[in-house]
Structure 1
Amino acid sequence: MRVLLTGATGFIGRHVLDALQQRGIDTLTLGRHRPPGDGGFIQADLLHDDLALRLKGCEASHLLHLAWYTEPGQFWHSPLNTDWQRASQRLAQAFIAQGGQHLVAAGSCAEYDWSLGLCCEDETALNPASLYGQAKNATRLQYETLCHRHQVRLAWGRVFFPYGQGEPVGKLLPSVRDALLGQRPAFAINTEARRDYIHVSDVAAAFLTLLTSPAQGAYNIGSGQPVRLAELIKHMAEELNQDPFPLLNLSVDRQDEPPLITADINKLTKLSWCCHTPLEKGIRAFKLKNLNPHIN
């Protein structure tokens, strides 16, 4: 088994690469920048390079494709989503051409119709409201056709709301932390909304499960336990010994935001995967590891 991993320097990818290395799995990373460590590396710009040429002779049996454009606040409607859709298609074609047999890729909960609240892989309508969700869903459809044609196994992991060490500035938890510490102005949040947050280490474990099992089809990667954003703010404030009310008092009821987005995770748990990091523990570790760069 040799894994070709994209997005290894990203938020989720760093944790996935650590998990692969801890398992002793032969891994090649593919991207513009070499991640830390001594593993194999293929330098390539996925958007512009000839990927068939780059992958020729790499002998990867498994592809774990995580790379995408994810700039906070920008990625939802960026035209770069369609560029990444095309690049992902070329990547899969190149992987299969060099003999690949098992493809796992990161999808998103943004593929679902969020007005329905509870998202189930085989029941909930796919009606993405953003260009990001549309491009992810289109990529999945292309992968299904390609993999069926070449008899390649495909598992598609729809990630919900990951958080944890290395989370980009501009995402909700780093923004809440900075506001509580007075490092940025307090801002309005729909505090009654409930979202399915999952620690990034559990996301990484889920992708390894999809990679090392005979899984096929779409799988939700979430905790299955949605949390009110007000509770999330209170947990962070408690860890920081700060007053949560400057944020809570700015609560706003946004009619265009769904009150609930959560994952049905029964399908994934049947593969013997489970969440190991409760929200309180995850926020505690997130807070420590992001505030103090000397803590590993």
Structure 2
Amino acid sequence: MTRVLVTGSSGFIGHHVVTRLQSDGLDVTGLDRRTGHNSGDFIHKDLLDLREDFHLHHRLKSFTHVIHLAAEAYVPTSVTHPDRYVQNNVIGTTNLIEVLAAAPHITRFLLVSSCEVYGTTSVPVDESASPRPASPYAASKLSQEAFCQAAAQCWGLPLVTARLFNNYGPGQQPDRLIPALMRACTEGTEFSMTSDGSQTRDWVHVRDTADALARLLFADDVEGGIYNVCAENEVSVHEICRLVFSHVEKPPKVVRASAIEGHLRRSAGIGRKLREATGWSPAGSLDGHLKEAFTY
């Protein structure tokens, strides 16, 4: 019987992943240190407290498929508090894989990593590029990858790695770019733009990301691979502002703020490998999804 564990299930992406898998009729259990809001089974646990919980070890070993999303995931905080990222992202991951490496039924461990590991390389970037992490967050995600790759070599962990590019959509944290822009529009407040607005990102709707992860979880001939989850649409902050403002009668005032340490100037991916392996492609357009968001 297929039994799926999703760590970080209470987070922005995790919630959508659980919903996507449940829509396929799968037996899904979420695990998070925060309380969950999906229906279905839920384990309220911090991965840092996993090592001595032998009862939970037994339960975790019953899962056949795992999506590991649980992580601290904000570049500015990693610059000021790097220790949190070592603890939660690196130690939390090693605690999990130590338990799962001995699991008799596990057939897929999908590590959700980040495009941030590529750092200041030229764009668009494919999976063959050498990582050059530019922030403690990026370094912690690359460390996750390294420990999971070691577990695959030493213990036979059936590893697949997904490197996510920038997500947006329902339920995103309110301090992220698109929710902050939309809040400024609806509340009539100023919007603070970091740097000059020319920095770019590859924007993927969270439901598309959830679909990509669901496909990778069960795809054939992907074990050991690394896959970019990107829409191949490098868009600047200026252009995001223009698209958002096009859906309101009175755009907010934009004020300049200083650049954020650790943030990349450009980020965009090549997604050919994922498309060829799973048939995945993003549904809809960035502007279409923004229009939908304002409708609701």
Give the TM-score of the pair, scaled to structure 1: 0.88
In 2, Cα distance between the equivalents of 1:37 and 1:187? 33
Q: Is the 8 A contact 1:103 1:153 kept in 2?
A: yes
- Per the TM alignment, residue 149 of structure 1 is displaced from its structure 2 partner at its CA by 2.2
Q: In the alignment, is residue 285 of structure 1 matched against residue 286 of structure 2?
A: no
For residue 11 of structure 1, what is the amino acid of its counterpart? Answer: F
Q: In the alignment, is residue 133 of structure 1 matched against residue 138 of structure 2?
A: yes
Q: Is the 8 A contact 1:191 1:251 kept in 2?
A: no
- Per the TM alignment, residue 77 of structure 1 is displaced from its structure 2 partner at its CA by 4.9
Query: Which of 260, 264, 274 does residue 266 from structure 2 map onto?
Result: 260
Q: Is the 8 A contact 1:237 1:243 kept in 2?
A: yes
Q: How does 1:13-162 map to 2 (within 5 A)?
A: 13-49=14-50, 50=52, 52-58=54-60, 59-70=62-73, 73-75=76-78, 77-78=80-81, 79-84=83-88, 85-99=90-104, 100-122=106-128, 124-162=129-167
Change (3 A) 1:26 1:285: same
Q: Deviations over 1:223-277 (max 9, x none)?
A: 1111122221111112222336x32x74989998654310110111112110003
Change (3 A) 1:193 1:53: same
- Per the TM alignment, residue 33 of structure 1 is displaced from its structure 2 partner at its CA by 4.3
In 1, Cα distance between the equivalents of 2:33 and 2:116? 26
Q: Deviations over 1:183-237 (max 9, x none)?
A: 5433234322221011000110111111011323211111111112222111111
Higher deviation after alignment, 37-46 or 56-65: 37-46
Give the TM-score of the pair, scaled to structure 2: 0.88
- Per the TM alignment, residue 62 of structure 1 is displaced from its structure 2 partner at its CA by 1.0
Unaligned runs of 5+ in 1: 290-296
Query: Which of 177, 181, 185 does residue 180 from structure 1 map onto?
Result: 185
Q: Is the 8 A contact 2:79 2:262 kept in 1?
A: no
For residue 285 of structure 1, what is the amino acid of its counterpart? Answer: E
In 1, Cα distance between the equivalents of 2:133 and 2:198? 23
Taking only the aligned residue pairs, the percentage that are identical comes to 23
Task: Provide the aligned length of Structure 1 versus Structure 2.
Answer: 286
In 2, Cα distance between the equivalents of 1:253 and 1:83? 27
Unaligned runs of 5+ in 2: none
Q: How does 1:139-288 map to 2 (within 5 A)?
A: 139-189=144-194, 190-214=196-220, 215-216=222-223, 217-243=225-251, 246-247=253-254, 250=256, 258-270=264-276, 271-288=278-295
In 2, Cα distance between the equivalents of 1:61 and 1:209? 15
Change (3 A) 1:127 1:250: same
In 1, Cα distance between the equivalents of 2:184 and 2:173? 15
